[in-house]
Amino acid sequence: METNYVMLRTIQVIHLVIDLFCMSYLFFFNTVFDIYYCGFILLQTAHWMCLKNECILSYIEKKIIHPPYQLGDNPKWIPHYKLFFNSYTKMLKAFLIVGSLLYIAFRNKNRRVKMLCMASIVLWIYLTYFHVNSRL
């Protein structure tokens, strides 16, 4: 039981660090890294599609908390949100990530970066708000 608790908290902290990175990218990195950030966000959202609109880290958290949990049963349940977020910070997270991608798309002259930004935004919004098993 102690090992599961340590594993759960470790995964939740890793998840939080990834969220903080995604929310604060614009404040710490310059345009050289834009393509990597946009690619990361696109891969992050694309892996939700492959896993029935669930994040792999959230799925692992759910399996630790409730072992019979099946992938895709409840994508709206994101365990680390209860620990670190509330409804206001979830909206702030969405605003900062989409806002960062929009800002990158407008400041960058590289067409690939612009396309990655737009694809990331469209996929992220679709999976978060409009998909049958939306995350919110």
pLDDT of 102: 93
**Measured distance CA(77)–CA(136) in Å, rounded:** 9
User: What phi and psi, each to the nearest 5 degrees, are found at residue 51?
Assistant: -110, 40
Could you tell me the end-to-end alpha-carbon distance of the chain, in angstroms, rounded to an integer? 30
Per-residue pLDDT of the chain (136 residues; tens, 9 = 90+): 688 889 988 998 998 899 889 889 999 998 899 999 999 999 998 998 888 888 899 999 999 999 999 998 888 888 887 778 777 887 888 888 899 999 999 998 899 999 999 999 999 888 877 776 666 5
pLDDT of 34: 93
**Measured distance CA(41)–CA(32) in Å, rounded:** 16
Q: Angle 111-125/34-50 helices, nearest 10 degrees?
A: 30
**Measured distance CA(59)–CA(105) in Å, rounded:** 31
pTM assigned to the model: 0.84
